[in-house]
Amino acid sequence: MHSEKRYTKLVLEDGSVFQGYAFGYNKAVNGEVVFNTGMVGYPESLTDPSYRGQILVLTYPLIGNYGIPDYEKEDNLLKYFESEKIQVQGLIITDYSENYSHWNAKKSLSDWMKEYKIPGMYGIDTRELTKKLRKKGSLLGKILYDNEKIHFEDPNKRNLVAEVSIDKPVVYKKGKKSILLIDCGTKNNIIRAFLKRNFTVIRVPWNYDFLDNKVDGIIISNGPGDPKNCHETIENVKKSMSKNIPILGICLGSQILALAGGAKTYKLKFGHRSHNQPCIEVGTNRCYITSQNHGYAVDADTLPEDWREWFYNNNDETNEGIKHFSKPFFGTQFHPEASPGPDDTEFLFDLFIRSMK
């Protein structure tokens, strides 16, 4: 049973209103309303920096039933989360489970959200809301409790990457070979993936001038918002291409790599956010099930002649990966590191490592 129900509402920029009940922290917020169709993985999703500025709608009907794990660390990274805090603006679900049960659970989802002052809302028809977002595209919205006076705000007009990136370099010491990770809002599991492969990871801010760093490879991480706002990152990547150091772009990183290479990007109608996106490798009949979280994409038709499309989405045929013809530059729109979701494409990290001399 839910005790002391408090009413709240979601107001969308098209004028529609969804009434529901509050959980988590009671605070009016605004943001871009987006949906995720994944069935599990809410601790990982809520801490994914790519959700910065967004009010997240989870379509799976029951959320909170396995609680939240403890803040255990490994290699100086939180073991069960993708960043140091909750990144979403707010959370909207169909039904919230106050009672949780899991061997690793230490607290409830609601209590965790209160720690970070994140509002939640349950008791609405998320199917109806998702159908609206699919038809009209991602909409600006606000969660209100007492008719607070806050404006609609498009977070994509801000440099969201600057908000979630680190302030100064951090080194995760492991093996003799090193990877330079441009932190545009990186998920922890990208770092874990290379530590596991015995690579030292040098994590630098999004606008860090890394051209004098001697490393074996460069990764441009995932992150939130419009890639065109990352002017310094694009310029630094463009300059580094002349050195022929292997580069791997993941999600937003793939878009930045494309922009540095001379292609264009655009905003998708409602984006891809789930753990079951089918991606086909160009020139094959092989389809991979992938984890995704992005609202922008590379326009494959604008790729220069020395680049080619590597993967495409089997649902809407949008670009899911790019590859240079002769140089070791790769980009994947999906997340090989998963967390949450299937890790079927983690082999791409090994392919990237093999490209290093």
Q: State the average pLDDT over residues 252-280.
A: 97
Cα–Cα separations (whole angstroms), residue 193 to 122, 248, 323: 35, 13, 21
Name residue 22's beta-bridge partners.
Answer: 121
pLDDT at 147: 82
DSSP for 282-319 reads TTS--EEEEEEEEEEEEEGGG--TTEEEEEEETTT--E
The answer to whether residue 14 is domain-embedded is yes
pLDDT in tens, 302-323: 999 999 999 999 999 999 999 9
**Active-site residue, 251 included:** yes
Give the number of other CB atoms < 10 A from CB of residue 184.
Answer: 31
What's the pLDDT band for 37 if we cut at 50, 70, 90? very high
Q: What SS3 state is found at 20?
A: strand
State whether 109 and 38 are in the same domain. Answer: yes
User: Is pLDDT of 325 > 60?
Assistant: yes
pTM attached to this predicted model: 0.96
Mean pLDDT (the chain, rounded): 96
Is there a contact between 245 and 202 (Cβ–Cβ < 8 Å)?
Answer: no
Choose the final residue of a domain: 157, 189, 222: 157
User: What percent of the chain stands above pLDDT 90?
Assistant: 97
151 is catalytic: no
The residue assigned the tokens 């990007």 is 265
Q: Which of 275, 282, 278 is nearest to 343 (CA)?
A: 275
pLDDT of residue 230: 97
Examine residue 1 and state whether it is found in any structural domain, yes or no: no
Catalytic option among 44, 82, 320, 337? 337
Q: Are residues 16 and 28 in the same domain?
A: yes
CATH number at residue 91: 3.50.30.20
Q: Are residues 348 and 279 in the same domain?
A: yes
- Mind listing the pLDDT tens digit for each residue in 96-147? 999 999 999 999 999 999 999 999 999 999 999 999 999 999 999 999 998 8
User: Does residue 253 contact residue 228 with C-beta atoms inside 8 Å?
Assistant: no
Residue 76 has pLDDT above 70, yes or no: yes
Please tell me the predicted confidence (pLDDT) of residue 3: 58
1 pLDDT higher than 60 = no
Specify whether 337 is catalytic: yes
In which domain, by residue range, is 204 found? 160-354
Residues 324 and 218 both lie in one domain: yes
- CATH number for position 323: 3.40.50.880
Q: Which of these is catalytic: 272, 275, 324, 335?
A: 335
Q: Which of 251, 272, 279, 324 is catalytic?
A: 251
One domain, residues 148 and 164: no
Q: Is the pLDDT of residue 38 over 60?
A: yes
pLDDT at residue 357, rounded to an integer: 72
**pLDDT, tens digit, 9 for 90 and up, residues 199-213:** 999 999 999 999 998
